Structure 1
Amino acid sequence: MRNALLSLLLGLSVVTALDNGLAVTPQMGWNTWNHFGCSIDEDLILSAANAMIQNDLPKYGYNYVNMDDCWQGTRNASGAPQPDPTKFPNGIKAVADQIHAMGLKFGLYSDAGTMTCGGHFGSLGFEEIDAQTYAEWGVDYLKYDNCYNQGLSGTPKISYDRYNNMSVALNNTGRPILYSMCNWGEDGPWNFATTIANSWRISGDVYDNYNRYDVRCPCDSMIDCKLAGFHCAMTRIIDFAAPVGQKAGPGHWNDLDMLEVGNGGMSYDEYVTHFSMWALLKSPLILGNDVTNMTNETLSIITNDAIIAVSQDAAGSPATRQWKRAVSQGGDLQLWSGSLVNYQFIIALLNTSPTNQTVDVDFEDVFIDQGAAYQSGTFTLYDLWQKDGQGNWGKEVGTYTAKIPSVHIGSHQVKIWKATLPSGSSKRNVADL
């Protein structure tokens, strides 16, 4: 009885520490860094928030307005953080209040080091006073970076302790603040951050490029990577994410970094891949473009509600890569699949090669985890990047048994299907597998 009571009490303490009720599905919003860097001020933040409202982005789930690095001024006499008075003459709380009045949420940035990556003051050693100040300002989201960490890394335990200090401090404020760790995959955060953070970065910084190798992103895999770096092309991060999806779920997500859609470095097809795979892998969908100046093409990508529904699916199950096959001309073909609620599934075929490809998509591969009845089964497919006769994303494209034959896919394209049991079919149970 004593051991059972102790286990119960320990279980309750763990739930209190990690379950802040946030990011039940991957968080969505916008962040300043990818497009604006340090060139931020009060007017920019409020203009972006207004643009989100004008473009109906909250309707699709984008509700966080996140201010990244370079908002800082100095610390006051008591050690509390203060904003740059030129950039934010009315203070951070005034900005947060205006964003809240729009029905949106406000996010801020700091660093688990002595300085931020932009050279401003960090929060290492100031976690309690910083967290309390953020709560008083009305902050709803904290992105917490990894620069100038004083060598406090190298093992999961060392990184855990440093990042847990802020997790505890945020929880102690009593205000629900989404905690987004940004330690670049160092020390394998997917193994330790699940109990202290709502999301954690898995790699070095993304940049607006499809597949270029850059020596500043040197690792072939993030498993035991010793230098995460930056300038990581989009498809490289997809490769990094492939093995760690098993670690994510409701309330705690692998973060593939902010979206580059609309920043100009990739083609339409490449941005479709970028947005689709981030959604399928359950990465937070944090826009990184200038939302005050978007093309119709960019807006059409980021408001594809069929793809967003996959991201926000209640099952919280990231897609799994079932195979990756090299193409002789370079690049590869990849097959991904995953489960959604209500006996629905997602299938993705990705072509990173420079040439068009034709391939059969066998259900034996798609439903490797569901068993023989599914592998030989019949499913109705909806193409999530085609519109139906009413203009809705997710056109029904037919019913298929055992495979999707002779799929034609262009260079740098992705095809995304939702698969459902045909109307009138009885749902299969475990005994069928």
Structure 2
Amino acid sequence: MKKLIYSLFALSLSLGAMAQGDNYVQDYTKFQGLALTPPMGWNSWNKFACNVDENMVRQMADAMVSTGMKDAGYTYINIDDCWHGDRDAKGFIHPDAKRFPSGMKALADYVHSKGLKLGIYSDAGSQTCGGRPGSRGYEFQDALTYAEWGIDYLKYDWCNTEGLKAEGAYKTITAALKKAGHPIVLSICEWGTDKPWDWGQNVGHLWRTTGDIYNCFDCIKDHGTWKAWGVMQILDKQEGLRQFAGPGHWNDPDMLEVGNGALTPGEDRAHFTMWAMIAAPLIAGNDLRSMSKETVEVLTNKEVIAINQDKLGVQGFKLNGADGLETWVKPLANGDWAIAFLNRSDKAQKINFDWAKQNIKDDIAKLETSFSTTTYTIKNVWDKKDKGAATTKKAFVGEVASHDVIVLRLTKKK
């Protein structure tokens, strides 16, 4: 009898342990159904760095609406580093009371009232890159706090992460977000060091592929212990990564520098175009309140944005290149194609693209086209004078200025 009682007791302990263990099993997968096209929005860092406050964020939300950016598809107003105040006695984070006196929930409510979404920033380490409180050891508390505030997007950085492994750290924050229950887009900002494209597809919705962008077209900024990269250097570093991108999981070459003054109008066009061609998130990083007409025209070009937001979700690739002139292609839904002629050289370049001699084959997307058997109409998406009458029956002839781009959308002729 004693043996039976002991056996039943042991069984009950075992079952209890199993049940308890089930309660603590974590879901290390991201929220599904988000970022099915590359996220579009604005982030504070490139222009303002740590100089953020609630009035400025509200004004950016207003400007996103008034400038037509919202109508063009931009959704997220993202606050980067330095919004943080202190943690309270129980460990919960609070925003800086001087910079965000109304609180983050009120700010989220305001942004939501504009039909937009609010993003926020934290770090997998003990401190953020700007020296504010990081989320290490507080992941589940922070996730609950963000959910309570109504946050829609989290950029999660990688400073001060001594001893941590990237995959595990990002799985922890995604499990915390999942446990909190409020759908949030997770932006993995690990700089590509631990190859997040290998493990990030089920963990986050986008992942940084490189270190920080630098506001120049073709240069490198050496900070001693680390480097920042110009637009062309960032573009080059995307080679070999396109097979990892797709709806809900995007390669992220960092935020846009369009409108921040260092780039010429042509370089702004080229920068924006190439981010569209490689299906990158379109996160503006300029002051939306004081944009020039030219900057607005770049950021709101709906035909270029349509290439980026194409539902097929295939990242473009370089077809060929010589003497600084590169030809890039991107397959689109319904059999369309985007073709970009990027001039990286310091002089204008002539284009004579004979369609009859060019067949495009995308081994990754399993798509191809033959211009000898299929005729396409051609739309030059930056040329306001384009009448859309050209077809691929004749070679495309043109000239692209130095550090500029020509972009064509090809549609099957009916």
TM-score if structure 1 supplies the norm length?
0.85
RMSD: 2.1
Partner of 1:410: 401
Instruction: Give the 3 Å change call, closer, same or farther, for CA 125–404 of structure 1 in structure 2.
Output: farther
**Which residue among 317, 331, 339 is the counterpart of 1:339?**
331
Q: Is the 8 A contact 1:206 1:230 kept in 2?
A: no
Kindly provide the amino acid, as one letter, of the partner of residue 29 in structure 1: G
Task: Please report how far the alpha carbon of residue 167 of structure 1 lies from its aligned counterpart in structure 2 after TM superposition.
Answer: 0.9
Partner of 1:85: 97
Determine the C-alpha separation between the residues in 2 that align with 1:56 and 1:372. Answer: 36
Instruction: Give the 3 Å change call, closer, same or farther, for CA 209–54 of structure 1 in structure 2.
Output: same
Task: Please report how far the alpha carbon of residue 215 of structure 1 lies from its aligned counterpart in structure 2 after TM superposition.
Answer: 3.6
Task: Please report how far the alpha carbon of residue 18 of structure 1 lies from its aligned counterpart in structure 2 after TM superposition.
Answer: 3.4
Asked whether 1:368 is paired with 2:361, we answer yes
Q: Is the 8 A contact 2:28 2:172 kept in 1?
A: no
Asked whether 1:139 is paired with 2:141, we answer no
Mapping of residues 3-152 of structure 1, within 5 Å? 17-152=29-164
Q: Is the 8 A contact 2:192 2:208 kept in 1?
A: yes
Asked whether 1:159 is paired with 2:152, we answer no
Q: Is the 8 A contact 1:386 1:395 kept in 2?
A: no
Task: Please report how far the alpha carbon of residue 151 of structure 1 lies from its aligned counterpart in structure 2 after TM superposition.
Answer: 3.5
Asked whether 1:181 is paired with 2:191, we answer no
- What does the per-residue CA deviation read over 1:102-143, in whole Å, with 9 as the maximum and x for residues that have no partner? 211110000111110100110112111111110001100000
Q: Is the 8 A contact 2:269 2:298 kept in 1?
A: yes
Partner of 2:275: 278
Q: Is the 8 A contact 1:201 1:257 kept in 2?
A: yes
SS at the partner of 2:346? coil
Determine the C-alpha separation between the residues in 1 that align with 2:94 and 2:404. Answer: 46
Task: Please report how far the alpha carbon of residue 350 of structure 1 lies from its aligned counterpart in structure 2 after TM superposition.
Answer: 0.7
Kindly provide the amino acid, as one letter, of the partner of residue 304 in structure 1: N
Q: Which moved more, 1:261-270 or 1:91-100?
A: 91-100
Instruction: Give the 3 Å change call, closer, same or farther, for CA 111–37 of structure 1 in structure 2.
Output: same
**Which residue among 163, 179, 189 is the counterpart of 1:172?**
179
Determine the C-alpha separation between the residues in 2 that align with 1:161 and 1:38. Answer: 28
Partner of 2:263: 266
Task: Please report how far the alpha carbon of residue 302 of structure 1 lies from its aligned counterpart in structure 2 after TM superposition.
Answer: 0.5
Determine the C-alpha separation between the residues in 2 that align with 1:404 and 1:57. Answer: 35
Determine the C-alpha separation between the residues in 1 that align with 2:124 and 2:399. Answer: 47
Asked whether 1:306 is paired with 2:306, we answer no
Partner of 2:377: 380
Task: Please report how far the alpha carbon of residue 420 of structure 1 lies from its aligned counterpart in structure 2 after TM superposition.
Answer: 1.3
Unmatched 5+ residue regions in structure 1?
1-12, 153-157, 218-226, 389-393, 424-433
Kindly provide the amino acid, as one letter, of the partner of residue 335 in structure 1: T
SS at the partner of 1:368? strand
Instruction: Give the 3 Å change call, closer, same or farther, for CA 26–375 of structure 1 in structure 2.
Output: farther
Kindly provide the amino acid, as one letter, of the partner of residue 194 in structure 1: Q
Instruction: Give the 3 Å change call, closer, same or farther, for CA 16–207 of structure 1 in structure 2.
Output: closer
Determine the C-alpha separation between the residues in 1 that align with 2:187 and 2:369. Answer: 40
Determine the C-alpha separation between the residues in 2 that align with 1:149 and 1:395. Answer: 54
SS at the partner of 2:35? coil
Q: Is the 8 A contact 1:19 1:251 kept in 2?
A: no
Task: Please report how far the alpha carbon of residue 101 of structure 1 lies from its aligned counterpart in structure 2 after TM superposition.
Answer: 1.5
Instruction: Give the 3 Å change call, closer, same or farther, for CA 348–140 of structure 1 in structure 2.
Output: same
Kindly provide the amino acid, as one letter, of the partner of residue 131 in structure 1: A
Partner of 2:4: none
SS at the partner of 1:270? helix
Determine the C-alpha separation between the residues in 1 that align with 2:334 and 2:368. Answer: 17
Asked whether 1:398 is paired with 2:394, we answer no
Choose 1 or 2 for highest CA Rg: 2
Aligned length: 385
Asked whether 1:203 is paired with 2:210, we answer yes
Q: Is the 8 A contact 1:380 1:420 kept in 2?
A: yes
Task: Please report how far the alpha carbon of residue 212 of structure 1 lies from its aligned counterpart in structure 2 after TM superposition.
Answer: 1.4
Unmatched 5+ residue regions in structure 2?
1-24
Q: Is the 8 A contact 1:60 1:303 kept in 2?
A: yes
Determine the C-alpha separation between the residues in 1 that align with 2:183 and 2:316. Answer: 29
Partner of 1:356: 348
Kindly provide the amino acid, as one letter, of the partner of residue 250 in structure 1: P
SS at the partner of 2:213? coil
Instruction: Give the 3 Å change call, closer, same or farther, for CA 372–194 of structure 1 in structure 2.
Output: closer
Q: Is the 8 A contact 1:322 1:366 kept in 2?
A: no
Kindly provide the amino acid, as one letter, of the partner of residue 130 in structure 1: D
Mapping of residues 292-331 of structure 1, within 5 Å? 292-325=289-322, 327=323
Kindly provide the amino acid, as one letter, of the partner of residue 183 in structure 1: E
- What does the per-residue CA deviation read over 1:335-358, in whole Å, with 9 as the maximum and x for residues that have no partner? 111211111011111110111112
**Which residue among 240, 245, 248 is the counterpart of 2:242?**
245
Task: Please report how far the alpha carbon of residue 242 of structure 1 lies from its aligned counterpart in structure 2 after TM superposition.
Answer: 2.8
Identity of aligned residues (%): 41
SS at the partner of 2:388? strand
TM-score if structure 2 supplies the norm length?
0.88
Task: Please report how far the alpha carbon of residue 29 of structure 1 lies from its aligned counterpart in structure 2 after TM superposition.
Answer: 0.7
SS at the partner of 2:151? coil
Determine the C-alpha separation between the residues in 2 that align with 1:134 and 1:151. Answer: 26
Determine the C-alpha separation between the residues in 2 that align with 1:52 and 1:259. Answer: 15
Task: Please report how far the alpha carbon of residue 376 of structure 1 lies from its aligned counterpart in structure 2 after TM superposition.
Answer: 5.2
